[in-house]
Amino acid sequence: MGHLADTRSSAEELADRLVEYRRHLHQYPELSGEERKTTAKLQEWLAEAGIQTVDYGLNTGVIAEIGEGNSGPIIALRADIDALPIQEETGLPYASRNQGKMHACGHDFHTAALLGAAILLKNKESGLRGKVRLIFQPAEEKAVGALQVIESGALEGVKAILGLHNKPDLPVGAIGIKEGPLMAAADGFVLEVKGQGTHAAVPEVGVDPIVAASQIVTSLQSIVSRNLSSLQQAVVSVTRFHSGTSWNVIPENAVLDGTIRTFEENARATVRERFAQIVEGVAAAYQVKTQLRWIQGPPAVRNDSRLAALAREATAALGLTAVEPAQSLAGEDFAYYQRKVPGLFLFVGTSGSREWHHPAFDLDERALPITAEYLAELTELALRSLSEQPDQER
């Protein structure tokens, strides 16, 4: 228990420092792909902690390593660093100073917590049973940052990866751990329906794209209820319907945007197939032309069972509460890492009053040292577990 007591003491001493990190990031949010000042600040803070950064050629984001010279496996820890195009409405003294930009998803929390875990792990670097690669990832909100990291080579040699997300509906001290699918594949679509414009008083002269597009919206609702098993979770949502400019003109075109969320690849394929069939059928019936563009999103987050068992062990060691969270239909590009190496994505309780992406989103900062301590403990457990496996199992 000695090392646990030392870790707890160190984490408590770090609490004020982590709050300072988080509040600075919260005041100066940057959007996906624009995280240049955030990147520079992270490099500064890591250098102050004596943690070496590694240049993988990323435009934004930071990769760092702990355990230089250590033999054994490499475990990666990932936090996302980008913000959202939302005008903050919290009224906090450290609210965003960048107009129209806000850390409304808690990525500032994730980044500060990972910095805390990194400092704790650096303090015991010589005793680690391997190396820790820190990934401060850009552009999660656009679901391209993980792919950029993978393409840079920063995942090479990694045997497992750990990530986390704050969860407002879980209390501080609760850790959400779930094997298998946790977050959904998130695909988007843009559908243009092309008709023939005319005066609204003589619709028979033209081809009305609004009527056809409305029929498509209605018909799409049958996919989940009639083409998927009731045991399969999926969502098909049309979120934008734009057409016309005047009350007395039937327009040429209508445009539909939306999203599809699924957990299983076969359901993902079925939804897309039926979607295209419905569009084709309605187009033929209403004599319109259509152009469908898919926006390929990340696959579902699927958690490794062995890492999940270690996560439960870490909660017990630190006296935290392990809970099995409900699946979330939100998407996460952490899933791309899990296509390459075993991975575990956790939910961390933050006792928030608002959900992600709300302009008044906030969280309980008492969760910061808890999360840093937990992530450091889990990393040590995972390194020991992986180092004890035969090479062919790694």
Q: Which positions make up the binding site for Mn(2+)?
A: 105, 107, 141, 165, 357
Q: Which residues make Cβ contacts (< 8 Å) with residue 2, sequence separation at least 6?
A: none
Question: What is d(CA 55, CA 65) in angstroms, rounded to the nearest whole number?
Answer: 11
213: which 2 tokens?
A: 């597009």
Question: What is d(CA 268, CA 283) in angstroms, rounded to the nearest whole number?
Answer: 23
Question: What is d(CA 371, CA 179) in angstroms, rounded to the nearest whole number?
Answer: 20
Largest CA distance in the chain: 84
CB atoms within 10 A of CB 247: 6
Question: What is d(CA 240, CA 242) in angstroms, rounded to the nearest whole number?
Answer: 6
Q: At what angle do helices 305-318 and 367-387 cross, to 10 degrees?
A: 130
DSSP class of residue 360 equals: T
**Which residue numbers belong to the known binding site?**
105, 107, 141, 165, 357
DSSP class of residue 125 equals: G
Dihedral sign for Cα atoms in the order 134, 88, 14, 373? negative
